[in-house]
Structure 1
């Protein structure tokens, strides 16, 4: 059985809840929070890709493709929310 509640997934969920809270109650700080999100998640994404690529090379698994797809989806969501905040839709 796959382990869905990993520490990184829990961090993403908590960060998303915090993002929704800031978007709802503190609209003035939304842009700063999105900048912070981008700068905080980029090192985690790079670290996760490196870890998955080492695992891919040693075991020959396809988990790296799943993790890259998940990271791309999260990046797209952050860019969409950032664009909405930039145009004052939030």
Structure 2
């Protein structure tokens, strides 16, 4: 993908930080692809910049031409007892 004038490769790095974007040079892109350049560049998604929109109900990877760096949750919430969580949050935030 390209954001402004910089190319990135989207990867799944096995780190806790969850980093998924690695800067990628145009020269390496040329080396990695043996096809015609018109075909390669037509397939590259282009964005105007980065954003961070944390919507869990209407998640979108792209938002108004920007790449949303927020990651979708991998689990679905379900009904159940949350008394321990509520007590923990009360302890942390007290009266706030």
TM-score under structure 1 normalisation? Answer: 0.29
Q: Which has more radius of gyration? A: 2
The structure in which a higher percent of residues are strand is 2
Q: Which has the higher contact order (CA 8 A, sep 6+)?
A: 1
The structure in which a higher percent of residues are helix is 1
